[in-house]
Amino acid sequence: MRKVNKEKLITAAVKAQKMACAPYSKFRVGAALITENGKIISGANVESASYGLTCCAERIALFKALTDGEKRFSAIAVVARIDGGGMPCGACRQLLSEYAPDAMVYVCDSAKPKQVKEFSVKELLPGAFLDFRPAVV
C-alpha cells in the first residue's frame, strides 16, 4: 500500500469545502478520500430545507467514490472551520466502518490545515455493526 500524501488530501478537502451547500447551518464541511491506488475523491455537505435529508461531506465523498467503482480506501480527510476541526458524526462513522474499515481519518480546522488530528476508523467506532446475517443453527 502506498504512503498517503496527507497534505495533498487535506488540500483536496479544503477545495471541496468551498462547494458545500449549507445555506441553513452555514457550517461548510469538506472531505476527501484517497483510494489504495492514490485516486482522490472529494465531497462536501449538502443541506435540505427538510433538514433531516442533509448529507454530510464524508458520506457524499464516500458515495461518489463507491458509485464510481472504488472499493479500497487508505484515508479520508475531513475539514471544517472550527477550532480543532469537526469530528465525523456517528452515521458517517458507521458508513466508513462498512466501506473504508482500514482507512485513517485526518481531521483539521480548514484555517489551520497543518494541525491535523489522526484516528483510525476502528478507533472512531469500536464494535461497529457490520453483519446482520443470523447465526447458522
User: Is residue 47 part of the contact set for ligand THU (CB under 6 A)?
Assistant: yes
User: Residue 62, interface with ligand THU (CB under 6 A)?
Assistant: no
* Region from 5-13, 56-64, 69-77, 112-120 binding ligand THU, contact rule CB under 6 A: 56-64
- Establish whether 36 is a catalytic residue: no
For residue 84, which amino acid is it? G
Concatenate the DSSP letters of all residues of 43-81 into one string.
Answer: EE-B--SSGGG-B-HHHHHHHHHHTTT---EEEEEEEES
Contact segment (CB under 6 A) with ligand THU among 33-41, 68-76, 83-91, 112-120 equals 83-91
Region class of 47: left (phi > 0), else alpha (psi between -120 and 50), else beta: beta
Name the site residues for ligand THU (rule: CB under 6 A): 22, 25, 27, 29, 45, 47, 54, 56-58, 86, 88-89, 92
